[in-house]
């Protein structure tokens, strides 16, 4: 007979860590910050990422770019779908975390998580179709084969939405990686835990390390070094806030190497069906010419 049968079991807390290069490091700075639920109750300590963490993440994202952009679109689609599968299996965990993070009832949090899972499925299907709607043959006035093809722009820094910590996050990173770019994303500052848990899902979804790198902390501290980074090709300013000084300053810094900039929209609705704008925002168009020669120039060859 045990003497402890009536003692409530003490739960095991999770140490939340960054997700960089497929690994789960703490911030190199050793800093954390307190994360609370909407009622002010302590939830966890999240890593307070530094500018050095941001630079490390860019290195990881650049390293992953060759392989990820070179993978077949079909393969990328399978991996995005795998992320949806893994999330579905951890649905209850995310419903709880999103509910706590955003102060949502269980049913509302469930709707958000379901929408996020479905969003991965939506973008999974886009990987091998976007080239057909964004590219194509061009009927030039001469004997040339001429084909325009969309290509991923490279490493994309993303400031994720502040208020929609999970659906908003998924909605901004899925289109970036669907087309073959890699990303460094700064999660919602006040509600970073769903993003950090997403890292655990990504790590078990066959997604190569470095394709998505997740940082938590202050966008105002980390984003400027990403906006000014010479090896970042584009930046999504969504979470910096429409009309904010931060968004303007980041755009100015981004001009230094002419990053592609996606400005924050005034009132994004993450629950609405998505268009293709976020897919095409981080695509380059390459146009290749080649002479066709001419056979049967003297008459019909048919």
DSSP letter string over 206-235?
Answer: TPPTTSEEEE-S-HHHHHHHHHT-TT--EE
Among 213, 180, 155, which Cα is nearest to 69's? 180
How far is it between the farthest Cα atoms of the chain?
Answer: 102
Angle between the N-to-C axes of helices 193-202 and 167-178, in degrees from 0 to 180, rounded to the nearest 10: 40
Question: Where on the chain is the footprint of another protein (CB under 8 A)?
Answer: 133, 136, 138-142, 144, 146, 148, 153, 233, 243, 245, 247-249, 251-252, 254-258, 260-261, 263, 275, 277, 284-291
Q: 61 vs 254, which CB is nearer to another protein?
A: 254
Closest separation between CB of residue 33 and another protein, Å?
Answer: 28
Q: 146 vs 162, which CB is nearer to another protein?
A: 146
Q: 190 vs 280, which CB is nearer to another protein?
A: 280
Closest separation between CB of residue 136 and another protein, Å?
Answer: 8
Closest separation between CB of residue 179 and another protein, Å?
Answer: 14
Strand bridging mode 155-159 / 182-186: parallel
DSSP-derived secondary structure letter, 257: G
Closest separation between CB of residue 138 and another protein, Å?
Answer: 4
Q: Which two tokens stand for residue 268?
A: 């994004």
Among 118, 114, 93, 127, which Cα is nearest to 207's? 127
Q: How many Å apart are CA 169 and CA 186, to the nearest integer? A: 9
Q: 66 vs 89, which CB is nearer to another protein?
A: 66
Radius of gyration of the chain (CA): 22
Q: Which two tokens stand for residue 154?
A: 């490279």
Closest separation between CB of residue 262 and another protein, Å?
Answer: 11
Q: 275 vs 296, which CB is nearer to another protein?
A: 275
Q: 204 vs 289, which CB is nearer to another protein?
A: 289
Q: How many Å apart are CA 240 and CA 174, to the nearest integer? A: 19
For the chain, where are the alpha helices, taking DSSP H only? 51-70, 73-89, 91-102, 106-126, 130-134, 167-178, 193-202, 219-227, 245-254, 277-280
Closest separation between CB of residue 114 and another protein, Å?
Answer: 27
Closest separation between CB of residue 77 and another protein, Å?
Answer: 19
Q: How many Å apart are CA 30 and CA 26, to the nearest integer? A: 7
Q: 106 vs 286, which CB is nearer to another protein?
A: 286
């Amino acid at each position: 007979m045990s003497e402890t049968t009536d003692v409530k079991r003490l739960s095991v807390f999770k140490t939340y860590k960054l997700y960089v290069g497929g690994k789960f490091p703490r911030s190199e700075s050793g800093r954390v910050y307190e994360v609370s639920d909407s009622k002010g109750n302590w939830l966890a300590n999240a890593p307070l990422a530094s500018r050095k963490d941001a630079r490390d993440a860019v290195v990881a994202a650049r390293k992953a770019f060759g392989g990820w952009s070179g993978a077949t679109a079909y393969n990328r689609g399978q991996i995005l779908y795998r992320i949806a599968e893994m999330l579905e299996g951890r649905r209850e965990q995310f419903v709880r975390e999103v509910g706590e993070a955003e102060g949502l009832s269980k049913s509302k949090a469930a709707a958000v998580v379901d929408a996020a899972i479905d969003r991965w499925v939506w973008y999974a299907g886009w990987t091998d179709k976007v080239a057909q709607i964004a590219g194509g043959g061009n009927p030039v006035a001469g004997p040339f084969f001429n084909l325009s093809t969309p290509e991923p722009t490279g490493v994309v820094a993303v400031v994720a939405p502040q208020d929609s910590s999970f659906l908003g996050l998924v909605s901004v990173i899925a289109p970036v990686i669907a087309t073959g770019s890699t990303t460094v994303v700064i999660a919602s500052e006040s509600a970073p835990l769903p993003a950090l848990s997403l890292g655990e899902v990504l790590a078990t979804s066959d997604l190569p390390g470095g394709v998505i790198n997740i940082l938590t902390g202050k966008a105002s501290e980390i984003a400027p070094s990403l906006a000014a980074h010479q090896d970042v090709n584009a930046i999504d300013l969504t979470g910096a806030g429409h009309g904010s000084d931060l968004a303007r300053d980041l755009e100015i810094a981004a001009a230094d190497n002419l990053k592609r900039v996606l400005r924050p929209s005034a009132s994004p609705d993450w629950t609405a069906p998505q268009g293709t704008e976020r897919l095409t925002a981080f695509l380059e168009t390459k146009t290749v010419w080649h002479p066709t020669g001419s056979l049967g120039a003297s008459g019909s060859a048919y």
